[in-house]
Amino acid sequence: MENTLKIAMAQISPVLLNKNETLKKVEHSIAEAGKKECELIVFGEALVPGYPFWLALTGGAEWNTKVNKELHAEYVRNSIQIESGELDSVCELAKQHNIAVYLGIIERAKNRGGHSIYASLVYINEVGEIQSVHRKLQPTYDERLTWSPGDGNGLKVHSLKQFTIGGLNCWENWMPLPRAALYGLGENLHIAVWPGSDHNTKDITRFIARESRSFVVSVSTLMTKELFPKSTPHLDKILENCPEVLANGGSCIAGPDGEWIIEPVLHEEGLIIQEIDFNRVYEERQNFDPVGHYSRPDVTKLIVNRERQSTVEFND
């Protein structure tokens, strides 16, 4: 049994712009996965309190508009400040159910002043300890209007049974050097989190699996027009041009040979559970290992800065 790991992909929707209600859904999913004896549960990108779908629907790049400012303020208000204990209940549930957690949040980072926000991927181990907080290195396109760029501090891997697990947010998974950093740390189970939709997951999931000869677990959220809470600021303007489906899911798993174990699952909310066998990693590394026998560090080498960035340094 040490060779195997039982994984739950929590493909759920947020209660958009409501961190408390969304955290309740997260906690319910953890408890459900724990009862089913899962050992790892993964949630999508920015799940708490949701992805900023409104930016593309409300003229998000316009300067000094009431709509943009009020929506942004609501987003910041409902972001997570880890240092204030806002994930303590999630950590306690992880400990209670002996389950590790990867959770996508919007983080209001205290060490950066507490007003800007980051798309962060948090890893909580099976005894309820936060082991890493990876702030997305480069927000994509309209995300840059609301999220700040992160740093390399969270480029870390974690041991879970025989597996070595690492993770990246959304289009970071297309960045070759962050992937290489995780490979170099011994990653053999890669976690990719997404706001949703199979157009994101259907190609890159298998590509990373084949490149790294690792398991790749891609987990997405769901979002439809009808799920916008009635309390959402400027809801009428958001809904004017809103499609019926904003995120259709697409959570999936590829094996170390790059073939599907679970093909992208669409329009289904809930837990998707799969057991994986570590021996498959050794089998596929026989012919290719990107940081082992099939590497040339004497020719090419990557340097990674994992310092947590801050504007000031105090010498008290």
Q: Which amino acid is at 225?
A: K
Proportion of the chain above pLDDT 90, given as a percent: 97
pTM of whole model > 0.85? yes
Under 8 Å CB-to-CB from 144, ≥6 apart: which residues? none
- How buried is 52 (Cβ within 10 angstroms: 0-12 exposed, 13-18 middle, 19+ buried)? buried
Level-2 CATH architecture, domain 4-285: 4-Layer Sandwich (3.60)
pLDDT computed for residue 2 by the predictor = 87
**Pick the catalytic residue: 6, 19, 25, 136?**
136
Proportion of the chain above pLDDT 70, given as a percent: 100
Q: Is the pLDDT reported for residue 96 higher than 80?
A: yes
CA pair distance 210, 194, nearest whole angstrom: 19
**Pick the catalytic residue: 6, 19, 45, 187?**
45
CA pair distance 32, 270, nearest whole angstrom: 10
Nearest to 187 by CA among 39, 290, 275: 290
* pLDDT band at residue 312 using 50, 70 and 90 as cut-offs: confident
Q: Which amino acid is at 203?
A: D
Domain edges within the chain? 4-285
Let me know: does 238 contact 221? Beta carbons within 8 Å.
Answer: no
Rounded to an integer, the average pLDDT of 129-135 is: 98
Q: Is the pLDDT reported for residue 1 higher than 80?
A: no
Please report where in the chains the tokens 């490149």 appear, as a residue: 211
* pLDDT band at residue 303 using 50, 70 and 90 as cut-offs: very high
**Pick the catalytic residue: 38, 91, 170, 252?**
170
Nearest to 191 by CA among 116, 121, 279, 87: 121
The pair of three-digit structure tokens given for residue 119, joined into one six-digit string: 């798309």
- Let me know if 136 is a catalytic residue: yes
Rounded to an integer, the average pLDDT of 229-245 is: 95
Task: Judge if the upstream peptide bond of residue 52 is cis by omega within 30 degrees of 0.
Answer: no
CA pair distance 230, 213, nearest whole angstrom: 46
CA pair distance 144, 223, nearest whole angstrom: 20
Q: Is the pLDDT reported for residue 216 higher than 80?
A: yes
Over residues 60-84, the pLDDT tens digits come to 999 999 999 999 999 999 999 999 9
Mean pLDDT of the chain: 97
Over residues 17-60, the pLDDT tens digits come to 999 999 999 999 999 999 999 999 999 999 999 999 999 999 99
CA pair distance 13, 38, nearest whole angstrom: 20
Rounded to an integer, the average pLDDT of 277-298 is: 97
pLDDT computed for residue 272 by the predictor = 98
- DSSP assignment of the chain: -TTEEEEEEEE----TT-HHHHHHHHHHHHHHHHHTT-SEEEE-TTTBT---GGGGTTTTT-TT-HHHHHHHHHHHHTSB-GGGTTTHHHHHHHHHHT-EEEEEEEEE-GGGTSSSEEEEEEEE-TTS-EEEEEE-SS--GGGGGTPPP--GGG---EEETTEEEEEEEGGGGG-HHHHHHHHHTT--EEEEEESS-HHHHHHHHHHHHHHHTSEEEEEE-EEEGGGS-TTSTTHHHHHHT--SEEEEEEEEEE-TTS-EEEEEEES--EEEEEEEETHHHHHHHTT--TTTTT--TTT-------PPP-S-----
